[in-house]
Amino acid sequence: MSRPAPELLAPAGSPEALRAAVEHGADAVYLGWGTFNARRGAQNFSEEEFAQAVAYCHVRGVRVFLTLNILLTDRELPEALETARAASRLGVDAVLVQDWGLLDLLRRTLPDLPLHASTQMSVFTSGGAREAASAGCERVVIARECSREETAEICRSCPAEIETFVHGALCMCYSGQCAMSALIGGRSGNRGRCAQPCRLPYGVNAAARGQRPLSLKDSCMADHLSEMGDLGVSCLKIEGRMRRPGYVAAVTDIYARLLEERRPPTPQERECLERAFSRSGFTDAYWRGKTGPEMFGFRPENAAPAEEPAPSGTDRRIPVEFTCAVRAGVPCSLEAGDGSGNHIAVSGPVPEPAGTRALTAEDLSARLSKTGGTPYRCANVNTTVEPGLHLSAAAVNGLRRDALEALSAARSALPLRRELLPPPLPEADCGEAEPRLTVSVVHAAQLTGGLLDFRPARVYVPLELLADVPSLPETEAEYCAILPRVWRDRDEDLLCRWLDKARVLGAAGLLLGNLGHFSLARGGGWKLYGDYGLNVFNSRSLAWLREKGLDSACLSFELRFSQMRDMKKILPAEAIVYGRLPLMITENCLIQNAVGCRCDRPNFLNDRTGASFPLLPAFGHRTEVENSRPLYLADRPDWRRLGLAFGRLRFTTERPEECVEICRRYLEQAAPAGEFTRGLYLRGVE
């Protein structure tokens, strides 16, 4: 039975998992090769294994996507480009990308290689999806947090294909925005090394420390597959490159059957999915537009994994039609077609006159139909057999074998793709000998005359705060509105009204932290600055953002000082040099889930060591988790020698007088007082 769209995409963390996915009905697989992918802990593939995997999949009608979806330094970009170039030559069908610099480099050097926007790009609005499409992505993997209605709107509005996750682990934080593993343990999720600290026990406001308020159940969208296809979703993705082949086989097999038969799962299939892997069951709450404590769960350490199931019995082999002619005095011929445009012809020996028994059309058809042990099944045989001729069984078998080998070669033929030289970076040098200070606040009370007396270059204020204040204090500093890190299409009319109010108050700039912000800000006459949410990790990302119209960009706080120093400042660069660094931005409100709605008071996440992580309310009743200790660099002169144009003091939980004191300390380069961290600038991340 032919299966309607959408495509079923399965994980392949190893060659064994890849075979399990293909044998159990995947239309496509995604895998990692080399060191630059978001599951660097998976077994992944060697170059030889990768080449074999692509050929194996293409013969069987399965597409192969390569994951190059991590942030990359300037030194790593050339190797990542060579990985993509080699994969393209081997016939990979697309490459998943997170890093803006790599995206731009691949678009310019391998223009025929399809690119997919990874979920690590944090796309959750139509505007963000359209921006990814205009940047050269033919497919966009949207955030797991998107609801049915939000997904439908993105599908309607975006010219690119839309891919959604339908089964597997859910991260508490929006993908691409989590720094918890990096800042706590030095293992970056943006670099494919997440240690999953979200699965550990925590408490909220020192209560119930044995709970797991960051550990979401796995997603299961098995009840919604037909609905997703009807909305225009092009691809359904199963998470799990770190999972065993048995898991891949079980989940892929069930989802393939559900798609083929356009039905919900049976109780037995639901039980099989839970046995394969679950955390206290499953959830589909995000799809239904819900959040809440029922979404959370964990998996006991002694839970036994399910064994790999037997194939479901559905014949997934490629149907082939044979046309064979056996005539006197000429070599026998066999043509084979797969119904997908591949058609080959081979020839064999000249038939001999028959002895006791002549070859019949029925005999020939029966022999050609024996395709067992190959990726093919015989769908039909057309024969022409002249009477009185003999052709041995070995000759017919050889003819069939040659035809199927030629057909496999045609199906796995390598594409012809252009390869261009990497373009040089622009000559612009926006490095500065001495950075100027900027400040960001979250409360109106922090915006005092004493703070502004230090004459910061810019003052960043949340857009929602600007919507609530009647006026702003007089200052020579440039006021800039911080756009919400997470929002939805339905919020954009409100955000546009708030932008009008911000302009009336005197704001001149906007701080953009997401790809979807560009369409909101474009054409408004604003000065546009990039925030840390854009994950700027290399010089080419700065060049790409310059092309997008930004006037400066904040560098990722997962970079080391030396990496910041060596980055070519094609755009004026900013770095956060003081403050509690953001660990997570979550769709679920941690405060509401734990203690009810008390977001107007201080709230904390508490870990097993006694550390307290402030919980700040974010736009849309979301939560931002801050680091337990503030970054402090006032006494470190090295951050001033990196060529930065700006150093940001990020005020979150500080009282107004503390904000003023911190500014004074930075101007005096004073030693720290109290607990602090140097962040990742000195030790870096894996």
Residue 324 and residue 264 in one domain: no
Q: Say whether 140 sits in a helix, a strand or coil.
A: strand
Instruction: Quote the Cα angle for 639-678-574, to 5°.
Output: 40
Q: Which domain holds residue 349?
A: 318-411
Bridge partner list, 479: 459
Quick check: is 427 in a domain? no
Residue 201 and residue 281 in one domain: no
Question: What pLDDT, on the 0 to 100 scale, is given for residue 465?
Answer: 97
pLDDT at 1 over 80: no
Q: Which of 625, 642, 481 is nearest to 573 (CA)?
A: 642
Provide, rounded to the nearest whole percent, the portion of the chain with pLDDT above 90: 90
Helices (H), ranges, 10-72 = 15-23, 47-59
Residue 263 and residue 327 in one domain: no
593-620: per-residue pLDDT in tens?
887 778 788 999 999 888 999 999 999 9
609 phi and psi, to 5 degrees? -90, -5
Question: What pLDDT, on the 0 to 100 scale, is given for residue 52?
Answer: 96
pLDDT at 38 over 90: no
Work out the widest C-alpha separation in the chain, in whole angstroms. Answer: 110
Provide, rounded to the nearest whole percent, the portion of the chain with pLDDT above 70: 96
415-436: per-residue pLDDT in tens?
999 999 999 999 999 999 999 9
Residue 159 and residue 26 in one domain: yes
pLDDT at 207 over 80: no
Encode 149-186: b = buried (16+ Cβ within 10 Å), e = exposed: ebbbbbbeebebbbbbbbbbbbbbbbbbbbbbbbbbee
Task: State both tokens at 520.
Answer: 């909101």
Question: What pLDDT, on the 0 to 100 scale, is given for residue 3?
Answer: 43
Structural domain count of the chain? 4
d(CA 414, CA 153): 36
pLDDT at 210 over 80: no
Q: Decide the pairing of beta strands 137-141 and 161-168.
A: parallel
pLDDT at 167 over 60: yes
Residue 661 and residue 527 in one domain: yes
Quick check: is 561 in a domain? yes
Quick check: is 221 in a domain? yes
Last residue of one domain, picked from the residues 242, 262, 295? 295
Residue 240 and residue 324 in one domain: no
Residue 404 and residue 479 in one domain: no
257 phi and psi, to 5 degrees? -70, -40
d(CA 395, CA 400): 9
Residue 122 and residue 258 in one domain: yes
Last residue of one domain, picked from the residues 260, 295, 330? 295
- What would the DSSP string read from start to end of 114-126? -EEE-GGG---SH
d(CA 255, CA 253): 6
**pLDDT-derived band at 208, boundaries 50, 70, 90:** low
Quick check: is 102 in a domain? yes
d(CA 78, CA 74): 8
Question: What pLDDT, on the 0 to 100 scale, is given for residue 46?
Answer: 85
Least confident of 250-259, 304-313, 464-473, 486-495: 304-313
For the chain, what is the radius of gyration of the CA atoms? 29
Residue 570 and residue 607 in one domain: no
d(CA 79, CA 86): 10
Question: What pLDDT, on the 0 to 100 scale, is given for residue 45?
Answer: 85
Quick check: is 235 in a domain? yes
Quick check: is 517 in a domain? yes
pLDDT at 2 over 60: no
Quick check: is 600 in a domain? yes
Residue 490 and residue 535 in one domain: yes
Q: Say whether 247 sits in a helix, a strand or coil.
A: helix
Looking at residue 63, which CATH number applies to its domain? 3.20.20.380
**pLDDT-derived band at 175, boundaries 50, 70, 90:** very high
Residue 233 and residue 113 in one domain: yes
Question: What pLDDT, on the 0 to 100 scale, is given for residue 5?
Answer: 75
Quick check: is 679 in a domain? no
Name residue 678's amino acid. Answer: R
Bridge partner list, 7: 235
Q: What is the pTM of this model?
A: 0.95
Residue 193 and residue 115 in one domain: no
With a CB cutoff of 8 Å and minimum separation 6, the contacts of 183 are 581, 583, 627, 677, 679, 680
